[in-house]
Amino acid sequence: MMQPTPSALYRLAQVLRVLAILALVFLVLFLATVAFSAVELGEGIAKQSGSLHHSVAAAIVGTDIVVNVTFPVPNQGYYNVQGLTLAAIFSNQTIQSGPLAVTTGGPTNIPGHGHGNLSLLTSFDMANPAGPFLLLHDAEIQGVLWLNASYAVIVPVNLEVAFNYHWGAPFANLSYTIGTPVPQKNETVAIPVTIHFENHTPGLALAGNLAVVVTNPNGTLCTRQTFPVETHEGPVTLKETFYAGESCSISGDTIASVFTSPGPPPIDISLPTETIP
């Protein structure tokens, strides 16, 4: 007997069954490669978190020291990363309770087997309680980084990475060395003063004026002097002469400095006061 010829509907069902199996295999392979690529992305970012110590540029704006930190993001997976954004909190509970700075970066896209950089423009306000410490002292700052992106178009990626950030103080090791006062004919004394500090903030150029005020213990103004400062990273030594009334002993007096510039951008950074030995 002759076998009955399969109907067109049956043949269509067979074709659809094969296509469904192929689609399922493709979906499983796709999800497997997406999962593998997402793991590679997360591991790559975790390895790069130590790179947050690198500041490519810095500036002073008002009372803020703004550092532009680049964060490298390697994408070793097969698929593109779309709309990558970062958010970070910088903190050191020993210096100040609460965040020292909060910042965001992105969005950006990174192709598969590609490499991208996100800039984290971060402002540290020197008017905050931690300001006097950060102006004069280097510090290790802890933080948390959050990453959000869309991977392979349909898969959301959310990662949280802890990091350390090395802060370099712009006026590290600030000191005033007072020389022997020399009496002048106009009932004043000339006092040689050496001001020394080290700019440890990567990429920060200091260009402005250092206004120095000396007051005696009862609050009377002894002298006020202003000196130009223009320097990049590294040690700075200013040798200046203060002129004060003969009644000012200088030794035991209080000396305070303010670093200013009309800008743009304007700068107004008050340095911690010191007592002259």
The tens digit of pLDDT for each residue in 205-227 reads 888 899 988 888 887 888 888 88
Q: CA 131: distance to chain centroid?
A: 14
Kindly state the tokens that stand for 168. Answer: 């370099």
Kindly state the tokens that stand for 30. Answer: 């796709």
In angstroms, the CA 21 to CA 28 distance is 11
Please calculate the CA angle 156-157-163 and round it to the nearest 5 degrees.
Answer: 160
The residues, ordered by sequence, that sit 6+ positions from 196 with a Cβ below 8 Å of its Cβ are: 173, 174, 175, 177, 235, 236, 237, 238
Report residues of the chain scoring pLDDT below 50.
1, 53
In the CATH scheme, what architecture does the domain 44-167 have?
Sandwich (2.60)
Kindly state the tokens that stand for 112. Answer: 């598969």
Nearest to 258 by CA among 226, 218, 223: 226
In angstroms, the CA 171 to CA 267 distance is 15
In angstroms, the CA 152 to CA 150 distance is 7
CATH 2.60.40.1820 region(s) of the chain?
Answer: 44-167
Question: Whole-model pTM?
Answer: 0.76
Strands (E) across the chain are located at 55-61, 64-75, 81-92, 96-110, 114-125, 139-151, 155-167, 172-178, 182-183, 188-199, 206-215, 221-231, 234-245, 254-261, 267-270, 274-275
In the CATH scheme, what architecture does the domain 172-275 have?
Sandwich (2.60)
CATH 2.60.40.10 region(s) of the chain?
Answer: 172-275
Please report, as a single letter, which amino acid is at residue 132: P
In angstroms, the CA 138 to CA 130 distance is 12
DSSP collapsed to 3 states, 107-133: EEEECCCEEEEEEEEEEEECCCCCHHH
In angstroms, the CA 171 to CA 6 distance is 88
